[in-house]
Amino acid sequence: MAGTLYVVATPLGNLEDLSPRAASTLKRVTAIAAEDTRHTKPLLTHVGSRAELISFHAHSSEAALHRILHLLASGKDVALVTDAGTPTVSDPGARLVAAARARDIPVVSIPGPTAVAAALSVSGLGADRYLFLGFIPRKGAERRRLLDVVARSEWTVVLFEAPPRVPELLADLAAACGADRPAAVARELTKLFEETRAGTLAELAGYYAEAPPRGEVTVMVAGTGKPGRDEGPAPPAPPAPPDREARARALLAQGMTRRDVAEQLAAETGITRNSAYRLVNDL
């Protein structure tokens, strides 16, 4: 019989948050797949585990993946852990879980801490529904698109960010969502210097620009909606874009020159004159 892959949540910082079930699992499995073995080794020392540590991270080779799958296929139990919190949440562990499931290897969750839920619980922001976006790109079109997603979201949005980039993220969020949008920043959850600060995006951006944060950081932004608020009817759908080819044919049929048709088509549809000329010449 195949072994079992245990997906084990580990403490965000305070080792007392490790559940008894998680501790016993880490002690009895044959091997532990860890995002950073140097980070996980003190945890195994704490619980008295002698399991083999295997490095498994975002850049691990196929050979590393197949080594773990071979252990499972041979009947050995393996635990999957991340540096802190629940594996596969903003973490490469999903690749291993998917590969195990594809081979009908049992996968069992050992639940526990997650920074997303911990931060939301002390933020004061609504958490009946929320949107988790993890780490967003540092720049470019995808960053702008996701900032717009945050700005438009009905629900609280949760983000992770590296400490040095938090002031820039908050400033970008204030520009996208409005300076007065409520938000909260939680850092070093469960650790000695734990801090959760709430305020508007402008206030938080100003504070962290003067006092750059350290440690693990979770940023939360309030959604646009309010409990019980009647949003009213949905706005009408935008009109369908005009059929440019059909319009060009109709204008040509009226006896207009190709140049005049192209110029009118560009004015009516918003495409460039060069694109309009090409479209007309292709007819």
Query: Over the stretch 96-111, which tens digit does the pLDDT of each residue have?
Result: 999 999 999 999 999 9
Pairwise CA distance, residues 150 & 24, whole Å:
40
For residue 17, which amino acid is it?
Answer: D
Tokens 């195990």 sit at which residue? 100
Give the domain-ending residue among 68, 84, 113: 113
pLDDT tens, per residue, the chain with 283 residues: 899 999 999 999 999 999 999 999 999 999 999 999 999 999 999 999 999 999 999 899 999 999 999 999 999 999 999 999 999 998 889 999 999 999 999 999 999 999 999 999 999 999 999 999 999 999 999 999 999 999 999 999 999 999 999 999 999 999 999 999 999 999 999 999 999 999 999 999 999 999 999 999 999 999 998 543 444 444 544 444 557 787 778 777 777 788 877 777 777 776 777 777 787 787 7
Residue 238 falls within a domain, yes or no? no
Give the domain-ending residue among 75, 97, 113: 113
Residue 102 falls within a domain, yes or no? yes
Domain check: are 190 and 253 in the same one? no
Give the neighbor-by-neighbor strand order of the sheet with 195-200: 130-135, 156-161, 217-221, 182-187, 195-200
Start-to-end CA span in the chain (Å):
67
The DSSP secondary structure of 84-123, one letter per residue, reads SBSTTSSSTTHHHHHHHHHTT--EEEE----HHHHHHHTT
Domain check: are 88 and 146 in the same one? no
Domain check: are 125 and 213 in the same one? yes
| Residue 201 · residue 177 · CB < 8 Å | yes
Residue 24: give its domain's CATH number: 3.40.1010.10
Residue 235 falls within a domain, yes or no? no
122: domain range?
116-221
Condensed to tens digits (0 to 9), the pLDDT of residues 247-259 reads: 778 777 777 788 8
Query: pTM for this structure?
Result: 0.76
Domain check: are 187 and 248 in the same one? no
Residue 197: give its domain's CATH number: 3.30.950.10
Interstrand relation of 195-200 and 182-187 (parallel, antiparallel or unpaired): antiparallel
Domain check: are 55 and 132 in the same one? no
